[in-house]
A and B are shown apart, each in its own frame.
Chain A
Amino acid sequence: MNHKKRILLTGVLLASAVVSGLLIYTRANAVPVERVIHITAKNFQFNPDSISLKKGEPVVFEISSGDRKHGFSLRAFGVRTDVLPGKVSRIRLTPDKTGKFTFSCDVFCGDGHEEMTGTVIVTE
Chain B
Amino acid sequence: MNKFDRRGFIKLAGLGGGIVFASSLGRGFGLNALGSVVDYANAKVENDFYFVQLSDTHWGFAGPKVNPDAEGTLKKAVKAVNSLEVQPDFIVFTGDLTHTTDDVQVRKDRMSQFKDIVGGLKVPTVHFMAGEHDASLDRGDAYQEAFGKLNYTFDHKGVHFIVVDNVSDPGAIVGESQLNWLKADLKQQKTDARIVVLTHRPLFDLYPDWDWSTKDGAAVIDALMPHKNVTVFYGHIHQENHHMTGHIAHHSAKSLMFPLPAPGSVPKKSPVPWDTSAPYKGLGLRSIEAEPKQAKYEIKELNVTGA
Contacts and interface: CB of A to CB of B under 8 A. Distances in A.
B109 to A, nearest CB: 16
Interface string A87-113: 000000000000000101011111101
A40 interface: no
Given A69-B170, A115-B270, A108 B136 contact: yes
A75 B100 CA distance: 26
A104 B99 CA distance: 21
Nearest to B132: A108
B273 interface: no
Q: Is the interface of B mostly helix, strand, loop or mixed?
A: loop
Contacts of A106: 171-172, 208, 211, 215
A104 B267 CA distance: 12
Kindly state the interface size class of chain B when it binds its partner.
10 to 19
A113 B131 CA distance: 14
Contacts of A111: 99-102
Contacts of A108: 100, 132, 136-137, 167, 170-172, 211
Contacts of A75: 208-209
A115 B210 CA distance: 8
Interface in B72-109: 99-102
B100 A104 contact: no
Contacts of B115: none
B269 interface: yes
A95 to B, nearest CB: 17
Interface of B: 99-102, 132, 136-137, 167, 170-172, 208-211, 215, 268-270
29 contacts: A73-B208, A82-B171, A102-B209, A104-B209, A104-B210, A104-B211, A106-B172, A106-B208, A106-B211, A107-B171, A108-B136, A108-B137, A108-B167, A108-B171, A108-B172, A108-B211, A110-B100, A110-B137, A111-B102, A113-B100, A113-B211, A114-B210, A114-B211, A114-B269, A115-B268, A115-B269, A115-B270, A117-B209, A117-B268
